[in-house]
């Protein structure tokens, strides 16, 4: 798995896309940015007929639709198994299993009983728990969160973090991925130990101003519930949410309790590999440790739609659903813990979630008293597009309000598009430690085509956006919108788009951190250093082979040899960091305390880079003061320039930082 994949864990895939192309989540239509094959498949004979042009939301029709879509979709996406649950009018309309929960033993997924990992959908339970305590007067949404904690969150920006900030993903924390997921029970730590074992991640934005999806913030909220209630978080959720809703096959406990093991689906990377993976242990449990069956998640959706009074009062439910933290109108925004996932004119609330192996979405449509939940047990080759296509197809099939024409292109399209075209970095990012390399490697490039439409890569395909209102674009084949927010003096502040608009902004990358400039230069610099090293033994062998004397002597010879050693030292620095990211990519358990030793050694190699710079400058002076060839002088100049580029990249990527709180 990649480092980017780690940051997707418990977060929307679509949000992480902006990090990786690229990586947070919610539903995009198959006809929208995903540009997958249409979800309107041939309907089986027992599907219900159209009523006034609208398909009735009935079990026969849903089952027929799912049968025409899911088996082919999971096969095409290399996914081992999936569950889809649909609810309507207080009942589980259908809960279907597809594929296998255990590929080796060919154990089929039971749509009602097999347990999957919903990832960040877990957060909805945390926010309901918080609001229960708000209702009881134990939590004030606008009070400094520190008064509820027994560890310190350092002050920053002259403003405290509140529970409202945590619920809207605006506390300003940078991303954190140490101990995000652990694969070995030996290294597992509790929520309290996790929060107290290292300082909180640095704050990079003033609270309340810039969304940046935060698993850490949700973990803090869960710990507040634990402290104020006097109950372990897992027990609190069982007693105050699972039991009232009748969710018998659901748990936040880790490792998975023995009584649930027979029902738990394996997780897989993909169907072609077919190797079952470890049970993912999540120290930030309130952010993503839930395991639940399709039936349990159906009961949860029914509770959300009924605004179950056993959980909260009607006014508290309304507060969660209707308090919208709108930063980028008219796009979807954050409610209190819920995402606005409106499709066209169809209001939707929900969440999505990703672990490494499981990928899920939950959408509820209060005005229709209906909802859909989907979870797959493999990353595969297209888990994100599959689930987005399914939830979007559900809305489009049964609710015509979801389909709204794109509309004509504005005459200002080229003018406004030119202002937006550029390179962007995600507000969900890392700044103060080596993870800041993702801020460079994960930048998103937005271009403008000949028609004035915006174009950028989403899920590996170009998506095109047409300006339909001033500084508001619509996907040319979907209902998602994109907006560019301008400052008072007419400068571009940020860009965001649905579905990630509730939890992430794309910020213009400054020129000195632009991947379009920096990465090509870095490639040339590493090439110069590598070629310097490669030609050293090659030239020595050629001289030996043809009995040619070494042409340099004295200081010139010494400078030549030491400059090559300097290049070697620089390559050791580069190679050590490559090894760090390879370790992180191959083994999440390596992000626990055992990883710190390798990190510390790698951080020390910056001394080698400093030495290489000093050597290259000394070599430059020696070569240019002598009578060496023009090529030798040119190459002696290329070496310090190349090292300067490496230093530039390392500086903007925080590779010189000694911080281990990552």
pLDDT in tens, 483-536: 999 998 889 999 999 999 999 999 999 999 999 999 999 999 999 999 999 999
The tokens for 264 are: 């738990």
Where does the pLDDT of residue 25 fall: very low under 50, low under 70, confident under 90, or very high at 90 and above? very low
> Half-sphere exposure of residue 186, counting CA atoms within 13 Å on the CB side?
5
pLDDT in tens, 278-336: 999 999 999 999 999 999 999 999 999 999 999 999 999 999 999 999 999 999 999 99
Q: Residue 427 belongs to what H/E stretch?
A: none
Count other C-beta atoms under 10 Å from residue 406's C-beta.
15
pLDDT mean across residues, the chain: 90
Please report the pLDDT score of residue 14 as a whole number: 38
Where does the pLDDT of residue 198 fall: very low under 50, low under 70, confident under 90, or very high at 90 and above? confident
| Per-position b or e across 501-534, b if 16+ CB within 10 A of its CB | bbbbbbbbbeeebbbeebeebbeebbebbeebee
Q: Please, are residues 288 and 353 in contact by the beta-carbon 8 Å criterion?
A: yes
Average the pLDDT over 550-569 and give the result.
Answer: 94
Please report the pLDDT score of residue 43 as a whole number: 38
Residue 283 pairs in a beta bridge with none
Count other C-beta atoms under 10 Å from residue 493's C-beta.
14
Please report the pLDDT score of residue 477 as a whole number: 85
Alpha-carbon distance of 659 to 662, in angstroms, equals 7
Q: How far is CA 22 from CA 9, 446, 461, 550, in A?
A: 16, 11, 10, 49
Average the pLDDT over 35-61 and give the result.
Answer: 61
**Inter-axis angle of helices 594-604 and 554-586, nearest 10:** 160
| 339: pLDDT strictly greater than 80 | yes
pLDDT in tens, 102-147: 999 999 999 999 999 999 999 999 999 999 999 999 999 999 999 9
Average the pLDDT over 395-407 and give the result.
Answer: 92
Please report the pLDDT score of residue 490 as a whole number: 87
Please report the pLDDT score of residue 371 as a whole number: 98
Please report the pLDDT score of residue 596 as a whole number: 84
**Inter-axis angle of helices 606-625 and 554-586, nearest 10:** 150
DSSP letters along 8-56, please? Answer: HTTS-HHHHHHHH---------TTTTT--S-S-PPPPTTSPPPBTTB--
Q: Please choose, from the candidates 9, 24, 27, 6, the residue with its C-alpha nearest in 3D space to the C-alpha of residue 343.
A: 27
| CA-based max dimension of the chain | 93
Please report the pLDDT score of residue 514 as a whole number: 96
pLDDT in tens, 151-161: 999 999 999 99
Where does the pLDDT of residue 77 fall: very low under 50, low under 70, confident under 90, or very high at 90 and above? very high
Q: How far is CA 248 from CA 261, 371, 491, in A?
A: 14, 20, 54
Contacts of 142 (CB under 8 A, 6+ apart): 162, 163, 164
Spell out the domain ranges in the chain. Answer: 413-513, 515-652
Alpha-carbon distance of 408 to 395, in angstroms, equals 24
Where does the pLDDT of residue 149 fall: very low under 50, low under 70, confident under 90, or very high at 90 and above? very high
Return the residue matching tokens 């930082």: 657
Q: Please choose, from the candidates 435, 454, 452, the residue with its C-alpha nearest in 3D space to the C-alpha of residue 444.
A: 454
- pTM (2 d.p.): 0.91
- For CA atoms 611, 614, 616, 619, the dihedral sign is negative
């Amino acid at each position: 798995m990649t480092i980017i994949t780690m940051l997707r864990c418990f977060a929307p895939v679509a949000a992480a896309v902006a990090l990786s192309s690229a990586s947070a989540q919610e539903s995009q239509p198959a006809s929208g940015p995903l540009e997958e094959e249409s979800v309107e498949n041939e309907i089986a004979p027992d599907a219900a007929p159209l009523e006034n042009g609208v398909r009735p939301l009935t079990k026969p029709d849903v089952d027929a639709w799912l049968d025409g879509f899911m088996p082919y979709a999971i096969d095409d996406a290399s996914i081992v198994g999936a569950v889809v649950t649909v609810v309507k009018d207080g009942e589980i309309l259908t809960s279907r299993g597809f594929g296998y929960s255990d590929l080796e033993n060919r154990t089929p997924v039971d749509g009602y009983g097999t347990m999957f990992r919903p990832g960040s959908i877990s957060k909805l339970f945390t926010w309901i728990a918080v609001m229960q305590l708000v209702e009881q007067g134990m939590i004030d949404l606008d009070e400094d969160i520190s008064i509820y904690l027994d560890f310190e969150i350092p002050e920053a920006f002259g403003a405290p973090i509140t529970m409202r900030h945590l619920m809207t993903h605006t506390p300003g924390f940078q991303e954190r991925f140490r101990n995000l997921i652990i694969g070995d029970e030996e290294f597992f730590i509790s929520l309290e130990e996790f929060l107290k074992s290292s300082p909180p991640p640095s704050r990079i934005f003033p609270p309340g101003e810039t969304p940046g999806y935060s698993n850490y913030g949700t973990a803090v909220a869960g710990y507040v519930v634990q402290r104020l209630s006097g109950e372990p978080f897992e027990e609190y959720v069982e007693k105050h949410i699972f039991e009232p809703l009748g969710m018998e096959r659901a748990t936040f406990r880790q490792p998975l309790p023995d009584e649930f093991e027979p029902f738990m689906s394996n997780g897989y990377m993909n169907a072609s590999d077919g190797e079952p993976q470890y049970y993912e242990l999540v120290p930030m449990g309130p952010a993503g440790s839930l395991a639940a069956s399709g039936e349990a998640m159906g009961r949860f959706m029914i509770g959300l739609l009924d605004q179950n009074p056993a959980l909260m009062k009607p006014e508290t439910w309304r507060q969660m659903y209707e308090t919208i933290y709108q930063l980028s109108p008219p796009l979807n925004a954050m409610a209190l813990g819920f995402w606005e996932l409106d499709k066209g004119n169809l209001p939707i609330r929900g969440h999505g979630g990703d672990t490494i192996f499981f990928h899920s979405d939950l959408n509820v449509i209060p005005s229709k008293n209906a909802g859909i939940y989907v979870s797959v047990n493999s990353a595969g080759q297209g888990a994100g597009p599959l689930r987005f296509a399914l939830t979007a197809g559900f809305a489009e099939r049964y609710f015509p309000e979801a389909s709204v024409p794109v509309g004509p292109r504005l005459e200002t399209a080229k003018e406004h598009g030119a202002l937006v075209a550029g390179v962007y970095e995600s507000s969900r990012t890392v700044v103060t430690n080596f993870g800041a390399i993702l801020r460079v490697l994960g930048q998103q490039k937005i271009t403008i085509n000949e028609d004035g439409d915006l174009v950028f890569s989403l899920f590996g395909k170009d998506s095109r956006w047409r300006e339909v209102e001033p500084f508001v674009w619509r996907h040319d084949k979907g209902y998602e919108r994109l907006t560019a927010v301008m400052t008072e003096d007419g400068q571009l502040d940020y860009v965001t788009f649905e579905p990630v608009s509730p939890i992430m902004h794309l910020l213009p990358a400054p020129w000195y951190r632009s991947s379009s400039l920096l990465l090509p230069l870095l490639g040339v610099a590493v090439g110069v250093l590598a070629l310097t090293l490669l030609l050293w033994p090659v030239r020595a062998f050629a001289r030996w082979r043809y009995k040619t004397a070494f042409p340099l002597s004295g200081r010139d010879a010494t400078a030549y040899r030491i400059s090559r050693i300097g290049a070697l030292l620089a390559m050791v620095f580069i190679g050590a960091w490559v090894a760090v990211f390879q370790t992180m990519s191959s083994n999440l358990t390596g992000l626990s305390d055992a990883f710190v030793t390798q990190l510390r050694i790698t951080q020390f190699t910056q001394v080698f880079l400093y030495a290489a710079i000093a050597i290259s400058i000394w070599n430059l002076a020696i070569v240019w003061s002598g009578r060496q060839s023009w090529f030798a002088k040119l190459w002696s100049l290329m070496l310090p320039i190349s090292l300067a580029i490496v230093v530039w990249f390392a500086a903007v990527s925080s590779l010189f930082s000694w911080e281990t709180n990552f």
